Structure 1
Amino acid sequence: MYNKIVVMYREAPSDKADWWELYEPFEETLSDGSVILVPAGYVTDFASVPMLLWSFFPPIGKYNRAALVHDYLYDLQYKQKELGEQAARKFADEQFLYLANAINPQASIRHYIMYWMVRVFGVYAWRAKK
């Protein structure tokens, strides 16, 4: 049984995607066996997908847990000090793929496409957190 994500809608500035605030802490086990705790109050947009692509890749879906953890790892710049920027970002991106496929293995092709989009364009979000 998976942990539930309990969120509430939080209005975003007009130039931003919808935001969701985590109402309860959320715990997830990563592919390396480590456990990450996303605290209550954390704000996410889940998957940062351009509106043009929402028909194919909606920002909210069965992969919400994966997107939430991915956003949090980016915000923390998780493992950057020990792995370096490129390897730490790749680790975070791989967690999205790992968790999305664990949640819904039937959509693995969709998850791989999303993973590669994050690999290509996620660098801008990662560097914005510095």
Structure 2
Amino acid sequence: MSKQAFMREALKPNGRKDFVGVPQISPFADWDYYYMRAPFSWYDGSETRTLGVVEITTGFVCDLASIPRLFWTLLPKTAPYTTPAIVHDYLYWFQPPSHDRQRADMVLNLGMRELKVPGWKRWVIYRSVRLAGGWSWNKNKQAREAGERRILKKLPTDIKTTWTEWKRDPSVFM
């Protein structure tokens, strides 16, 4: 089935798909950053479909859920909200015109709802992002403008490679 036919089928109201593909991620050795080993997509499967489509490419580098270690017993870095967090990281990094910060946060919230993250966790994560996410949004914009890149064309082959080491080599980026 072609990508266009698949998208038409995925976006049907009675046969909608919110996530297409399974995030295949690998950690860098420092376990603070992860890279996508295959692409996947998120589609707004809500009634209004106002948040559109977000396609995450192979090689995208993200930090998953940016939850302080202090709270990891209640909200670990990897959990059912990890997939929406990857989509959110992508939107926070690239800041496309179609998704300002508020819309990016709405994608996170809707993605968590679609994956049936318990209401109290969704509320805590979403409210935290709304209150403190401006710092990350601005930091990402500054890093991008300073030349930092987050799409790899070459993936690490050594499990001992850290993100700090890997990003020093400009030839690994798109």
Report the TM range for the smaller structure's normalisation: 0.7 to 0.9
Q: Percent identity?
A: 26
Structure-2 residue corresponding to 1:29? 43
In the TM superposition, residue 35 of structure 1 has moved relative to its aligned partner by 1.4
Per-residue CA distance 1:25-59 (angstroms, 9 max, x = gap): 11111352521111100111110011001011111
In the TM superposition, residue 5 of structure 1 has moved relative to its aligned partner by 0.7
What's the Cα RMSD here?
1.8
Question: Normalising by the residue count of structure 1, what TM-score does the alignment of the two structures yield?
Answer: 0.83
* Bigger RCO (CA 8 Å, 6+ sep): 2
Secondary structure at the residue paired with 2:67? coil
Number of paired residues?
119
In the TM superposition, residue 78 of structure 1 has moved relative to its aligned partner by 2.5
Q: Please, which of 52, 67, 79 is the counterpart of residue 61 of structure 1? A: 79
Superposition misfits of 4+ residues, deviation over 3 angstroms: none
The answer on 1:45 being equivalent to 2:59 is no
Structure-2 residue corresponding to 1:75? 93
CA contact 1:89–1:126 (8 Å) conserved in 2? yes
Q: Please, which of 89, 97, 111 is the counterpart of residue 122 of structure 2? A: 111
Q: Unpaired segments of 5 or more residues in structure 2?
A: 1-16, 142-174
Secondary structure at the residue paired with 2:55? strand
Structure-2 residue corresponding to 1:19? 33
User: If each structure's helix is expressed as a fraction of its own residues, which one has the higher value?
Assistant: 1
Per-residue CA distance 1:56-87 (angstroms, 9 max, x = gap): 111110111110000000001132xx67xxxx
- For 1:47 and 1:33, the matched residues in 2 are separated by 20
Structure-1 residue corresponding to 2:27? 9
- For 1:59 and 1:78, the matched residues in 2 are separated by 25
Question: Normalising by the residue count of structure 2, what TM-score does the alignment of the two structures yield?
Answer: 0.63
Secondary structure at the residue paired with 1:129? helix
CA contact 1:78–1:92 (8 Å) conserved in 2? no
- For 2:135 and 2:29, the matched residues in 1 are separated by 24
Structure-1 residue corresponding to 2:111? 99
